[in-house]
Amino acid sequence: MRIDLASTPGHQERPNEDWVSAAAPASGGGVLVVLDGVTPPRGDDGCVHGVPWFVARLGGRLTELSGSRRDMPLDQVLTESVRATADAHRDTCDLSHVRTPQATVVVVRWDGRYVEHLVLSDSVLLLQAPDGEVTAVLDDRLDRIPREVLGSVAATDALRNAEGGFFTAAADPAVAARALTGRTPRERVRAVAALTDGASRWTDTFGQGDWADCLAVLRKEGAQGLIDRVRAVECDPARPSARHKRHDDASAVYAEL
Ligand SMILES: [Zn+2]
């Protein structure tokens, strides 16, 4: 087993709001957790702690529970982790605020029999079969909303964790039912990767290669190699102006099982 991970902030003067962790429990198998904290527009989120505090709490709990409680399905792991994180600041913060700290989630867990996954919001999970074929698991609910509908903070807030909109892990444990989950027989998976959108843009925004090419970069050049390639494209003066901010927190983890 080989696991390689990297995380780079989008801006030197702002904290990285991504979380990446990997665990190889003594019982065997492994766990990967990737979160992308949502930066609150105008900085107003009703929380005295901030997004880095939130992703560290949630990421830590997800890693601990998915590694230690193999009997607990991943959607239940997410339910319990969101609840524990909300409980940690329920008395000090307004958890009913629409922009209460929130994050995208990818969790992958494997043992000798299965590779389980959970994906919520727009971080990317890639599964590679022994023959090299790559399957991307994408929660594209945010991408299906026309850009013009998301033209203002108020319009985006109206769709945030709302029916017909898009879902992130915030303060309501019930969101776990919205996550994409599944499991694949272990012998049908050679490698897995999880990327926040700051790293997946190498494929889905900049079109530098398809998902199989992206996985090939991760294998040959490592997680930092992929992020370095993203930064090179972002800094290319010939690049047409993209709809995304110039740099975003970028995180990637790659595991050969
Ligand atoms: Zn708080």
Give 241's DSSP letter: P
Q: Cβ–Cβ contacts within 10 Å for residue 140, how many?
A: 12
Does pLDDT of 71 surpass 80? yes
Q: Are strands 124-128 and 191-195 parallel, antiparallel or unpaired?
A: antiparallel
Arithmetic mean of pLDDT, 196-209: 96
- List strand residue ranges (DSSP E) for 49-154, in order: 103-110, 114-120, 124-128, 134-137
The tens digit of pLDDT for each residue in 141-200 reads 888 888 888 878 888 888 888 888 889 999 999 999 999 999 999 999 999 999 999 999
CA 29–ligand 1 middle distance (angstroms): 34
- Kindly report the pTM of this predicted structure: 0.94
pLDDT band at 246 (very low <50, low <70, confident <90, very high): confident
Residue 232: predicted pLDDT? 94
Q: Measured in angstroms, how far is the CA atom of residue 173 from the centroid of ligand 1?
A: 16
Share of the chain above pLDDT 90, in %: 77
The per-residue pLDDT for range 3-46, each reduced to its tens digit, is 999 999 999 888 999 999 999 887 789 999 999 999 877 668 99
Q: Which residue is associated with the tokens 């600041």? A: 89
Compute, in angstroms, the gap from residue 137 CA to the centroid of ligand 1.
31
- The answer to whether the beta carbons of residues 248 and 197 sit under 8 Å apart is yes
219-238 per-position pLDDT tens digit: 999 999 999 999 999 988 77
Residue 52 has pLDDT above 70, yes or no: yes
Sheet strand arrangement including 180-185: 18-23, 30-37, 103-110, 114-120, 180-185
